[in-house]
Amino acid sequence: MSEAGAPDLFLNGALALRQPVKGHRAGTDAVLLAAAIGAPDGALLDAGAGVGAVGLMMAKRAPGLAVTLVEADPLTAALARDNIALNGLSARARVIEADLLCAPARRAAGLPDRCADIVVTNPPWLTSGRSRAPPDPRRALAHVLGDGGLGAWMRAVAALTKPGGRMAIILRADALKALLEACEGRFGALALLPVHPRDGQAAIRLLAAGIKGSRAPTRLLPGLTLHGEDGAFTPRAQALHRGEAALDME
CA distance 195 to 212: 24
Mean pLDDT per 10-residue section of the chain, whose length is 250 residues: 77 96 88 94 97 97 97 96 98 98 96 98 74 52 71 98 98 97 98 98 98 98 97 98 93
Q: Closest Cα partner for 167 from 149, 179, 175, 178?
A: 179
For the domain covering 8-242, report its CATH number.
3.40.50.150
Tell me what pLDDT residue 1 has.
43
Q: How far apart are the first and last CA of the chain?
A: 39
Q: What residue spans of 35-148 are helical by DSSP H? A: 53-61, 74-86, 103-108, 137-143
Angle at 9 between CA 174 and CA 246, to 5 degrees: 55
For residue 173, give the DSSP letter: G
CB 61 within 8 A of CB 243: yes
DSSP 216: P
Cα 209 to its chain centre, rounded Å, is 11
pLDDT at position 31 is 98
pLDDT tens digits along 219-236: 999 999 999 999 999 999
pLDDT of residue 144: 62
What are the pLDDT digits (tens) for 86-114?
A: 999 999 999 999 999 999 999 999 999 99
β-partners of residue 208 are 169, 192
Cα angle value 241/142/104 (rounded, 5°): 115
Q: Are 47 and 106 a contacting pair, CB within 8 Å? A: no
Model pLDDT, residue 130: 52
Q: Where are the domains of the chain?
A: 8-242
